[in-house]
Amino acid sequence: MHCIASYTRALVFGGAFMLLASTVSAAEIGKTLEEVIALAKKEGTVQVANSWRGRMLKEVAKGFEARYGLTFKQTYVGGISSRERILSEAVAGLVEYDVVNVSGELRPQYIKAEVIVPVGWGTLFPEVNPMLIDPKGYFIAAGISRYAIIYNTNTVAAADVPKTWEDCLDPKWKRKVAIYTRPRTFTGLWPGWGETRSLDFHRKLRANDPIWTADQTGTAAKIAQGEYALSCGLPYHTYLNIKRRDKTAPIAFAYPTELPLQIGEAFAIMKGAKNPNAAILFAGFLASKEGQKSYKHFGRSNPFVEGTVANEQVAAAKSKLIFGGWDFAGAKEGAAAKKIVEAWGFPKGK
């Protein structure tokens, strides 16, 4: 399937760039927050590559300008292929953006290709939870994705909604449960489950003949339309996207007993960025408690930040959180993803 091909291609994408160096010159970056702010004031509008829409954009713009007196412009980029393009262009010396939200599968390749720069995030923004900062300094996480069950409330009774992931294997869901084939839900569970339990689950899932889907938002839309009964493993922000379009849509988001979390938005400063200091302030603002207020409109607020929508919902659900963090992200997640899609019966790289 196309999305699996894109996913597995991304895992090895960086090999072609191992020894290539960017020819762009680096702008001065401040060593202290005071220096960063002073330099940022001399720079222009932050150029951002990300996928926000609507109210989220307006709220972030309002908060960022109120905090630092600075502005940003987002170029909408979605999916892995767009980040692959940004990577290949940067290797060739073409740097269009100051800060990029880098897809999880591509983060190791961005580092290897030397197109992003490490930042002392923890020193500059000591109030940010350390678990949101890449130990190597290349990324700072702002959006956290949480994956659970989305179902049609007209066709699935509340009592029948899966309470555990194993409930999705019930024969009553044969050819009724949709599974999105970019397996971030299940690589999210891998650090808590381990390989044996994970692969046993996925072989049984394949045997239950699910509906394989290649479009995350499209899958949720078909659930709302009643074409699919439910999906085991879609993120909250996808559910919210459907409800934002139609508040009356007959879909609901249900938390299972184990809740996988993934770093959904990890921002990096591009090497050769024209406005690197302003970009640093932008990314740091997003990860702060103040910046997280806007994320309620996007569905990726941070459960590790007190007072966020995610923090409150997760506390109410009382689910066991499974979070691999930076240690699992990258190569380990990539290896797990390959094993999962192979257990589903898809040939490697197809």
Say what the pLDDT of residue 15 is: 43
Say what the pLDDT of residue 14 is: 42
| Pairing verdict, β 72-76 and 211-213 | unpaired
Sort residue 209 into left (φ over 0), alpha (ψ -120 to 50) or beta: left
Report the top-level CATH class of 2-144+262-338: alpha beta
* 3-class secondary-structure state, position 180: strand
Q: What's the start-to-end Cα distance of the chain, in Å?
A: 6
Answer for the pair 285, 291: CB distance below 8 angstroms, yes or no.
yes
Closest CA to 273 of 106, 115, 91, 102: 115
Low-confidence residues of the chain: pLDDT under 50:
2, 5-25, 349-350
Say what the pLDDT of residue 147 is: 97
3-state helix vs strand vs coil in the chain, percent to 5 = 45, 20, 35
CATH number for the domain formed by residue range(s) 147-259: 3.40.190.10
The per-residue pLDDT for range 147-166, each reduced to its tens digit, is 999 999 999 999 999 999 99
Say what the pLDDT of residue 267 is: 98
Say what the pLDDT of residue 349 is: 46
Domain spans in the chain, listed from the N-terminal domain onward:
2-144+262-338, 147-259
Query: At 190, which amino acid appears?
Result: W
- Provide the whole-model pTM: 0.85
How many C-beta atoms lie closer than 10 Å to residue 268's C-beta?
26
Q: Is 123 exposed, middle or buried (0-12, 13-18, 19+ CB in 10 A)?
A: exposed
The per-residue pLDDT for range 204-234, each reduced to its tens digit, is 999 999 999 999 999 999 999 999 999 999 9
pLDDT-above-90 percentage for the chain:
81
Q: Do domains 2-144+262-338 and 147-259 have the same CATH topology?
A: yes
Give the Cα-Cα-Cα angle 171, 181, 312 (nearest 5 degrees). Answer: 85
